[in-house]
Amino acid sequence: MVSLGGAGAVSGLRTSRFRDDSLTDGSRTPLEDETLRIRVYPGPVPLHVRLRDGLDADGAGTHWTGVHEDALEAVSDAVAQILSYARERSRFEDLEWQVERGESVRLPLSAVSRPTETVSPSLETVLEGFRDRLAERNALAPTSRDATATATCHLLLSWAPFNHRLGYGGTLSPTARVGADGGDGDGSTPDALTVANVGATERWDSRPVTRNMAIHEVLHTLVSSDVAEDIGGTRCDHDLGTATRVDDATVRVSPIATAYAGPDEFGGGTRFHGTGCYDHEEFHRHDGLEGVAEWEYTTELSDATLEATTRYLETIGYS
């Protein structure tokens, strides 16, 4: 993981490492102007997974596990990188970010419209259920003149290792981008909702892939197609990523390129290849696939990703 001296090394980034009792109902709390919040929620986790951390672990008895902690810390690190990049260029001097824990989210039965959805709900069903739960908790910001000043990216860490319909996760309109004027919204909230299936990455891949996919799904909410095209020349945000040769047989992959940097085949980098857009020829950097036998995953964001996230937040009114 890239080191910036820890999340607290960048002024303005606040990370809630443990549950704040004032947030037990999931409701929003007053924040300063120009604050962007990322709230991370665990989905239900099997008991045997929770017990891996031991009965004396900080999250014992909850759905927070070491997996979720690592995912949250990875997201915090990515946010720190964005802030550091922007402030080195005299941008976002007044912006504050907050990365924090949310309460566990279980999908409501009303979100399941067909029997097959009970076992393997689709991405659309998961996101709709997630939104319903957040609405019940009054956790979604209403659209208003100053709505983007306290917009939130809500990240659900799902544990569904055998749900091929959910895949590694994702986000969908109308809550695909942070910001009431982000281009994808329906006008009801400036918040964005996204899902990372950490159960799948832990079962089929590795902890580094888990970290990267948590970051990956958050980044989707912070880059629009227009900005991706301005920065990278294509409207696909995956192309902002990198796949860099470490040696003749090893490639190191950045978060937004994770699940898309390898060949489109079973076991091509990640166990399963992403189903979204990508073009290796258009990546910010892709050193090719010939002779590649090993894949490494870094939480360090590419320069193109850093500029794109900064630019997008500027377009929706942050400064």
pLDDT tens digit at each of 319 positions of the chain: 222 222 233 334 444 433 333 333 444 444 345 788 999 999 999 988 888 876 655 655 578 999 999 999 999 999 999 999 999 999 998 888 899 999 999 987 666 666 667 778 999 999 999 999 999 999 998 865 454 556 899 999 999 999 999 999 999 999 999 985 444 556 578 899 999 999 999 999 999 999 999 999 999 999 999 999 999 999 999 999 999 999 999 999 999 999 999 999 888 899 999 999 999 999 999 999 999 999 999 999 999 999 999 999 999 888 7
Contacts of 64 by beta carbon, 8 Å cutoff, 6+ apart: 19, 42, 58, 101, 104
Q: Name residue, tokens 């009303």.
A: 110
Q: Work out the end-to-end distance of the chain between its first and last CA atoms, rounded to an integer number of angstroms.
A: 28
Considering the entire predicted model, what is its pTM? 0.87
Domain boundaries, the chain: 1-222, 225-313
The C-alpha atoms of residue 101 and residue 72 are separated, in whole angstroms, by: 8
Cβ atoms within 10 Å of 291's Cβ, excluding its own: 11
259 close to 216: Cβ distance less than 8 angstroms: yes
The C-alpha atoms of residue 313 and residue 82 are separated, in whole angstroms, by: 11
Tokens representing residue 107 in the block? 């999908």
